[in-house]
Structure 1
């Protein structure tokens, strides 16, 4: 462990789900307190998440972030303080339409993230647990942190014109789809030009536009906001965090991460449910 870590690190970037958030989707008070202490000492803090930026706005303000937020695995960068879209990289509209038709045809439960709201699809007469959780999460948020969620089904899907929207990510919900249907679409998804597949959580599959990653967006942000990646520390837990492990000088994998993720990180801390962020910062940066 570098004894001078405290003075070398100027910027801290945090993944949300599985990292900053506990399994109950909360940020512990210890984490909030120690990050605010870091800010008082001159370090900057912000978020790099697979979520769309509007689904992390509350967490952004809870942490009083210093830089714009990176969302949708790097396909969106938004400056909440100036209410300004810094960067977007949507999926080609023709490809989006083809992916939509493939997922619907195979009865897949999935979400589509646009630059301002979420659309979802679920097969007829099925209550998706993920959608129920998402609706509940939105309703629990203060009004200024809420956003629109529209769920389509076999009867309403034809009224949805996907080409009217910039789709920055499809999220396939494996846990609310049948395994045989998931297996059917996997080879088909690899045939689409301009997108790639990555995993941000165990129960989902992310379909992303090529050219977007957390790492690339972090590089973009370092230029627009003039900070040095050699002085940057990132925390993450999943496959979609590896790209930012590769561009930041220092990286920390959460304790519950798979070994393949831990191998890519500079350091390993405790799990997201065991104060992993707090424990690392308290031990090495305080």
Structure 2
């Protein structure tokens, strides 16, 4: 039997708006895993949160977290990349100069420069992050004390998108970071040459899955790399036009069982 590796983003892709997985999609994924295929959540979320959602799918589900910074198979981390401290410091200072909040992540901790968004602490929504600890970073000295723990970061601005665009333009000039976005309100900050694309390639090689047997689902700019490297890159109907143009296929939206209907047809279920 030809084995497949199925990789899926979480928000806007695998998850519904209420942060659950539809029964149809969940049932099919569990069936495919039991048949010997592989499934991995592939998300910008930190490792703890990504692992929780992987376990909701199946105990054997794998994890790509922090936009590719962390890869785990059967609960064992096989790859973990961290940003260079010089690049981290430049990022931190630029965000301070532009008065924009930046959040850095380890596998289990969120480090924040201003007040965390409500979904970092709200009881009904904190599963989106599931951080063991929240640590305030208010000074350069405190930042440097913790910087060796940071895997990736994100800048979030809910209102002034022009301000965000100006900062992104400056961040893209830095030599040791990769800059992406998963939503109009954010800037994703990653180690240079490390994103979901490289993580999916590495995971497929580790599992001995042929590149043409990789299926990736996504809806955001930070998913484009893994869509392009997959044998079947699938954009959700709710994805941006940029993402759809980068995909081999477009399926129905995340809230219309897009993953379920694509896999059912593509794998002849």
Given the two structures, how large is their TM-score scaled by the length of structure 1?
A: 0.83
Contact between 2:92 and 2:102, CA under 8 Å: does it hold in 1?
no
SS at match of 2:149: coil
- Are 1:86 and 2:69 an aligned pair? no
Contact between 2:3 and 2:36, CA under 8 Å: does it hold in 1?
no
- Residue 36 of structure 1 deviates from its aligned partner by 1.0
Of the structure 1 ranges 178-187 and 86-95, higher mean CA displacement relative to structure 2 is found in: 178-187
* Aligned twin of 2:27: 33
- Are 1:134 and 2:126 an aligned pair? no
Counterparts of 1:241 and 1:35 in 2: how far apart (Å)?
20
- Residue 101 of structure 1 deviates from its aligned partner by 1.8
Aligned residue pair count: 267
* Aligned twin of 1:52: 46
Q: 1:23 to 1:162 in 2, by over 3 A?
A: farther
Where structure 2 has 5 or more consecutive residues not aligned to the other structure, the ranges are: none
Contact between 1:112 and 1:169, CA under 8 Å: does it hold in 2?
yes
- Partner deviation per Cα, 1:49-90 (whole Å, 9 max, x = no partner): 111221211111011153531111111112453xx3211221
| Correspondence 1:125-204 to 2 at 5 A | 131-136=117-122, 146-150=130-134, 152=136, 154=138, 158-162=141-145, 164-175=147-158, 178-179=160-161, 181-204=163-186
* Aligned twin of 1:42: 36
Q: 1:258 aligns with which of 240, 245, 252?
A: 240
Counterparts of 1:278 and 1:210 in 2: how far apart (Å)?
34
SS at match of 1:118: strand
SS at match of 1:69: strand
Counterparts of 1:242 and 1:133 in 2: how far apart (Å)?
26
Counterparts of 2:253 and 2:223 in 1: how far apart (Å)?
15
- Residue 173 of structure 1 deviates from its aligned partner by 0.4
Q: 1:273 to 1:157 in 2, by over 3 A?
A: farther
* Aligned twin of 1:77: 71
Counterparts of 1:148 and 1:140 in 2: how far apart (Å)?
11
SS at match of 1:263: helix
Where structure 1 has 5 or more consecutive residues not aligned to the other structure, the ranges are: 1-6
* Aligned twin of 1:3: none
Counterparts of 2:197 and 2:74 in 1: how far apart (Å)?
20
Contact between 1:120 and 1:150, CA under 8 Å: does it hold in 2?
yes
- Residue 241 of structure 1 deviates from its aligned partner by 1.3
* Aligned twin of 2:188: 206
Counterparts of 2:84 and 2:63 in 1: how far apart (Å)?
23
Q: 1:98 aligns with which of 81, 87, 90?
A: 90
Contact between 1:72 and 1:168, CA under 8 Å: does it hold in 2?
yes
Q: 2:197 aligns with which of 197, 210, 215?
A: 215
- Give RMSD over aligned pairs: 2.5
Counterparts of 2:104 and 2:137 in 1: how far apart (Å)?
13
Given the two structures, how large is their TM-score scaled by the length of structure 2?
A: 0.88
